[in-house]
């Protein structure tokens, strides 16, 4: 224990087990070693320890790191509250009483906040890199499906024709926003709390700017009270993971639908599907279903932490210990889901001609026909009404737009002429789009080139 001097009784074993965070914060091991070495170097710089003591402490910490990573030392959860106390205890074993000088001028409050910020910066960068790879595989799919026409939906009802490339590029945009959010998290976490102490700084001549620079932070935090109680950067990290998982869940849901026999639009790679213990014919999209399901857990991690923080007075409270499990769980769930989605997309097979014939018999081009009337100087509201009547006319006769004759069109409105018939072609419909950001194949190709050059 790091705090037993004023106590006459030992900490209850059940209370230690209940309060120990070692099982989760052991993942901060490297960050704690790095921050401790930087802190020791600062103590030597300001003459609070000697150069020989610094070398003894640094060598001891590096030995602990090597033993830990080589499986020669593992802290015992029955003995230690957290990774910080475990490392300090091990350092005492290795170098003796000099280890007691390492904690000069710092508290576990500023120590853990520093470790968490270091960890968040590191793993946010990893997620940005993974999102980049996710975007690349989506762009590759888009490039091979510029002319694959599919129905676009609103309210889960067929709305207008788009290309599959256009659809996948929507997820590229989502991923870019996800990357921006993690970039913001890195920026927000890029201040060093070390030297803030328990809540009010120190009477010792600590050089916080030196430590901040050593640990590659932009600057030290400005208010010690806020420094040890701030967990906004973790909330933003959890929020970023939640939004990222939400995007993966949306894509997973679409892929699950597209893979059904009713849709028969894609085939998933077999290595990411499972069979049934009862029905021999089944090939189930379990991995996609798990990605969709696990999104709820990641979202709940955000809710758990913000609910924990909402009523805590300044500064540190032991409730803060509950931040780590949410942070680690969200990262691992999201990163594993992202990695699997990349592999699934890379092995996807697309039935490119699935929808063309059936869309030709639908009314997906109704808006195009209304736009044609607008170009004939018909007010849009009147054009909307005319095309609605045209759809009703077709439904009553059980025919599609492509089966209409000029006489049929004239029966609905004298505004129609023979030139409108060319607008009933599904395969050329998206080429008529004129607005930037639409599924016009030329615009889509430009976007694909943009992403290929920028990822």
What letters, b where the CB count within 10 A reaches 16 and e where it falls short, cover 313-344? Answer: eebbeeebbbbbbbbbbbbebbbebbebbbeb
Per-residue pLDDT, averaged over 86-109, amounts to 97
| CATH, domain 109-204+222-354, list 2.170.190.11, 1.20.200.10, 3.40.50.2300, 1.10.3720.10 | 1.20.200.10
Mark out the alpha helices in 259-354 (DSSP H runs). 286-309, 323-346
Least confident segment among 31-40, 330-339, 427-436: 427-436
Give per-residue pLDDT as tens, 10-27: 666 776 677 678 888 999
Euclidean distance between CA atoms 232 and 174, whole angstroms: 23
Euclidean distance between CA atoms 385 and 377, whole angstroms: 14
Give 78 or 368, the one with higher predicted confidence.
368
pLDDT of residue 6: 58
Per-residue pLDDT, averaged over 197-208, amounts to 97
pLDDT of residue 4: 54
pLDDT at 171 exceeding the cut of 90: yes
Give per-residue pLDDT as tens, 308-337: 999 999 999 999 999 999 999 999 999 999
pLDDT at 202 exceeding the cut of 60: yes
Q: Could you tell me if 224 and 196 are in contact, meaning their C-beta atoms sit under 8 angstroms apart?
A: yes
pLDDT of residue 3: 45
* Residue whose token pair is 């993942």: 27
Q: C-alpha distances in angstroms, 265 versus 106, 157, 356? A: 60, 17, 12
Closest to 101 in 3D by CA, of 62, 47, 64, 65: 47
Per-residue pLDDT, averaged over 354-361, amounts to 86
Q: List all residues 6 or more positions away from 88 whose beta carbon is below 8 Å from its beta carbon.
A: 2, 99, 102, 103
Euclidean distance between CA atoms 317 and 274, whole angstroms: 46
In this structure, which topology does domain 361-454 adopt according to CATH? Answer: Ribonucleotide Reductase Protein R1; domain 1 (1.10.40)
Kindly report, as residue ranges, where domains of CATH 1.10.275.10 are found in the chain. Answer: 20-104
Say which of 129, 180, 264, 276 is annotated catalytic: 276
Euclidean distance between CA atoms 56 and 41, whole angstroms: 11
Closest to 350 in 3D by CA, of 164, 187, 196: 164
pLDDT of residue 12: 67
pLDDT of residue 352: 94
Q: Could you tell me if 161 and 424 are in contact, meaning their C-beta atoms sit under 8 angstroms apart?
A: no
In the annotation, is 167 catalytic? no
Q: What percent of the chain has pLDDT over 70?
A: 97
Give per-residue pLDDT as tens, 252-277: 999 999 999 999 999 999 999 998 88
pLDDT of residue 79: 85
Per-residue pLDDT, averaged over 75-81, amounts to 86
Q: List all residues 6 or more positions away from 375 whose beta carbon is below 8 Å from its beta carbon.
A: none
Long-range contacts of the stretch 39-43 (C-beta < 8 A, 24+): 39/102, 39/105, 39/106, 39/194, 39/211, 40/102, 41/210, 41/214, 42/195, 42/206, 42/207, 42/210, 42/211, 42/214, 43/101, 43/102, 43/104, 43/105, 43/206
CATH class of this structure's domain 20-104:
mainly alpha
Q: Is 219 helix (H, G, I), strand (E, B) or coil?
A: strand
Kindly report, as residue ranges, where domains of CATH 1.20.200.10 are found in the chain. Answer: 109-204+222-354
pLDDT of residue 2: 54
Q: What percent of the chain has pLDDT over 90?
A: 88
pLDDT at 8 exceeding the cut of 70: no
Instruction: Identify the band that residue 78 occupies on the pLDDT scale cut at 50, 70 and 90.
Output: confident
Kindly report, as residue ranges, where domains of CATH 1.10.40.30 are found in the chain. Answer: 361-454
Closest to 159 in 3D by CA, of 297, 366, 450: 366
pLDDT of residue 23: 86
Q: C-alpha distances in angstroms, 299 versus 155, 193, 231, 306, 330? A: 24, 28, 17, 11, 8
Gap between the terminal Cα atoms of the chain: 49
pLDDT at 1 exceeding the cut of 60: no
Per-residue pLDDT, averaged over 271-297, amounts to 93
Closest to 330 in 3D by CA, of 181, 148, 199, 176: 181
Q: C-alpha distances in angstroms, 298 versus 9, 176, 194, 294? A: 40, 20, 29, 7
Instruction: Identify the band that residue 281 occupies on the pLDDT scale cut at 50, 70 and 90.
Output: confident
Say which of 155, 277, 311, 407 is annotated catalytic: 155
Q: Could you tell me if 17 and 81 are in contact, meaning their C-beta atoms sit under 8 angstroms apart?
A: no
Q: Is 160 helix (H, G, I), strand (E, B) or coil?
A: strand
* Residue whose token pair is 């063309």: 356
Per-residue pLDDT, averaged over 111-124, amounts to 98
pLDDT at 303 exceeding the cut of 50: yes
In the annotation, is 155 catalytic? yes
Q: List all residues 6 or more positions away from 345 whose beta carbon is below 8 Å from its beta carbon.
A: 134, 137, 138, 141
pLDDT of residue 21: 84
């Amino acid at each position: 224990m790091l705090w037993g001097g004023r106590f006459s009784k030992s900490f209850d074993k059940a209370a230690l087990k209940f309060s120990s965070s070692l099982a989760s914060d052991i993942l901060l091991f490297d960050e704690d070693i790095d921050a401790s070495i930087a802190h020791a170097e600062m103590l030597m710089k300001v003459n609070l320890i000697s150069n020989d003591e610094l070398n003894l402490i640094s060598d001891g910490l590096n030995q602990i790191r090597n033993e830990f990573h080589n499986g020669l030392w593992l802290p015992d959860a029955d003995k230690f509250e957290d990774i910080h106390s475990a490392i300090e205890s091990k350092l005492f074993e290795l170098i003796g009483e000099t280890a007691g000088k390492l904690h000069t001028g710092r508290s576990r409050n500023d120590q853990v906040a520093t470790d968490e910020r270091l960890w968040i910066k590191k793993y946010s960068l990893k997620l940005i890199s993974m999102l980049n790879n996710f975007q690349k595989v989506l762009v590759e799919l888009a490039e091979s499906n510029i002319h694959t026409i599919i129905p676009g939906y609103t309210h889960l009802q067929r709305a207008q024709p788009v290309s599959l490339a256009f659809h996948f590029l929507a997820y590229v945009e989502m991923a870019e926003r996800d990357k921006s959010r993690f970039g913001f998290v890195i920026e927000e976490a890029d201040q060093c709390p070390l030297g803030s102490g328990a809540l009010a700084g120190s009477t010792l001549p600590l050089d916080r700017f030196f430590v901040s620079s050593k640990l590659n932070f932009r600057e030290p935090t400005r208010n010690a009270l806020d420094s040890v109680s701030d967990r906004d950067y973790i909330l933003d990290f959890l929020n970023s993971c939640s939004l990222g998982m939400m995007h993966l869940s949306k894509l997973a849901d679409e892929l699950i639908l597209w893979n059904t026999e009713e849709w028969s639009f894609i085939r998933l790679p077999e290595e990411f599907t499972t069979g049934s213990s009862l029905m021999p014919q089944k090939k189930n999209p379990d991995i996609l279903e798990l990605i969709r399901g696990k999104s709820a857990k990641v979202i709940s991690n955000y809710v758990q932490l913000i609910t924990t923080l909402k009523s805590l007075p300044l500064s540190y409270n032991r409730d803060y210990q509950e931040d780590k499990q949410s942070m680690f769980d969200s990262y691992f769930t999201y990163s594993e889901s992202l990695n699997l989605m990349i592999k699934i997309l890379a092995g996807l097979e697309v039935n490119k001609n699935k929808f063309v014939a059936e869309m030709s018999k639908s009314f997906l081009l109704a808006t195009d026909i209304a736009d044609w009337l607008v170009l004939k100087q018909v007010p849009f509201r009147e054009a909307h009404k005319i095309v609605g009547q045209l759809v009703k006319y077709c439904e009553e006769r059980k025919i599609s737009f492509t089966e209409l004759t000029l006489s049929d069109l004239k029966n609905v409105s004298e505004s129609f002429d023979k030139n409108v018939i060319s607008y009933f072609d599904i395969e050329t419909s998206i080429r008529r789009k004129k607005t930037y950001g639409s599924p016009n194949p030329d615009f889509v190709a430009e976007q694909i080139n943009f992403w290929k050059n920028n990822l």
